[in-house]
A and B are shown apart, each in its own frame.
Chain A
Amino acid sequence: SAVISQKPSRDICQRGTSLTIQCQVDSQVTMMFWYRQQPGQSLTLIATANQGSEATYESGFVIDKFPISRPNLTFSTLTVSNMSPEDSSIYLCSVEGTRGETQYFGPGTRLLVL
């Protein structure tokens, strides 16, 4: 499986500000995924990012709130914009396995919005 790193690992932010989360993979991957895991909840897919195309967002998530970049095959960023306390969550990036059979997750970014 790919080795995935995320930055920052955690942050405490003030409401109304924005935070950009970085996801780096040690190999080239076609698809990268961004998830949110709110306290005590399961994983919810925010969007899927293909290199060279616009990210595809799931219902309930919009580009203005969660802009995503995918400049190359090993890197992606997710920005959480105009944050409110409801955005406090763990944000995880993931990539598909080499055979496309499943997904492997990064360590996550723990965000607290005050």
Chain B
Amino acid sequence: QKEVEQNSGPLSVPEGAIASLNCTYSDRVSQSFFWYRQYSGKSPELIMSIYSNGDKEDGRFTAQLNKASQYVSLLIRDSQPSDSATYLCAVRALSAKYSGGSNYKLTFGKGTLLTVNP
């Protein structure tokens, strides 16, 4: 069973602080890694993707990937109350259910609820 584990929340940080969200995955052949943000009552929206080891920055968001440790993280700098949401880690790998094709499957972690306090 391929698993994606996220650090248990909820996580609470003051406004302006750095929020750190962590994720580990069990499938070594995983190829792509994503962070989704889900506001209460809404569907998930993609905020970051990362494919190779190292850091990837986009505005206040930085994704970090370490394939040797099977670890991916998301840092949110200068956290704002509007960042308060559940953050879902997702890992994309080739699905064993498909043969002869290139169909991939996303496996999601359970999510970490982040609250940014004004």
Where the two chains meet, the residues of A that have a C-beta atom closer than 8 Å to any C-beta of B are 1, 31, 33, 41-45, 48, 50, 56, 58, 90, 92, 100-108
Contact = CB atoms under 8 A, between A and B. Distances in A.
CB-based closest 8 A-B pairs: A105-B43, A42-B110, A43-B108, A42-B108, A108-B43, A42-B111, A105-B44, A102-B34
A102 B46 CA distance: 9
Nearest to A104: B46
Interface of A is mostly: strand
Contact of B45 (A43, A45, A105): A105
A48 B103 contact: yes
B30 interface: no
13 contacts: A42-B109, A43-B108, A45-B105, A45-B106, A48-B95, A48-B105, A100-B104, A102-B32, A102-B46, A103-B106, A105-B44, A107-B43, A108-B43
B20 interface: no
A25 to B, nearest CB: 14
B88 interface: yes
B60 interface: no
A108 B43 CA distance: 6
Contact of A102 (B43, B92, B97, B110): B92
Most A CB atoms within 10 A — which of B32, B97, B98? B97
B106 A102 contact: yes
B56 to A, nearest CB: 13
B70 interface: no
Contacts of B44: 43, 92, 105
B49 interface: yes
Nearest to A58: B97
B100 to A, nearest CB: 12
A41 B110 contact: yes
A101 to B, nearest CB: 7
Given A103-B106, A106-B43, A43 B98 contact: no
Interface in B47-80: 49
Nearest to A93: B43
